[in-house]
Amino acid sequence: MRYLIYHDNPFDSRHFLVFCRRYLTYLVQLLPAILIITGAAILLMVGPFPQHAYLISYLALCLMGIVYFLLKPTEYELYDNKIVITIGWVFHYQIPFGNLKSARRATWKDLWGPNLNLINSYSSGDILQITRWDGPKIHITPNNRQVFLNYLNGILPGWRRGNYDLPENGA
């Protein structure tokens, strides 16, 4: 049986500014799509088929909403044998400890190259880089990176030895 060691909920922020920053990040990610839809709607209204402009705008907004709610929020779960990254409510990405080489704090310079970026915020202080033995590096942004790293660094050596020594409350 696999045990859940740590669950990182992106909406469980005790700091209001961090909470607002994450939502503003989502809005900035959607801003180009909003501008494209608005421009297309204006062009359709003045073009030869203005009756279809409202339908196309509505369908585009619905599609954008579906994509937004499928991809966000990203949750991180640390089990006793793997890391599970849940993107939205549909997509799950698993990193077994057997394929995990290391995890460390990342900077903006580390984001370039053949990496898998699953970051939710643009603050370089939140980025965590997971290096795998096989496959690209993965960048994530847990809500509390230090607690996530403490749990991971506490469970990974124990998993490699065959016993599990967990840190107390992520410290």
92, 85 Cβ separation under 8 angstroms: yes
- pTM (predicted TM-score): 0.64
pLDDT in tens, 25-38: 666 767 777 777 77
**Which architecture, in CATH terms, is 75-161?**
Roll (2.30)
**For residues 2 and 22, which has the higher predicted lDDT (pLDDT)?**
2
Handedness of CA 56, 57, 59, 60 (dihedral sign): positive
120, 25 Cβ separation under 8 angstroms: yes
DSSP state of 134: S
In this predicted structure, the answer to whether residue 75 has a pLDDT above a threshold of 80 is yes
The Cα-based distances of 101 to 5, 23, 164 in angstroms read 19, 32, 18
The Cα-based distances of 57 to 43, 50, 168 in angstroms read 11, 11, 52
From first CA to last CA, the distance across the chain in angstroms is: 25
pLDDT in tens, 34-62: 777 777 777 777 777 667 767 777 777 77
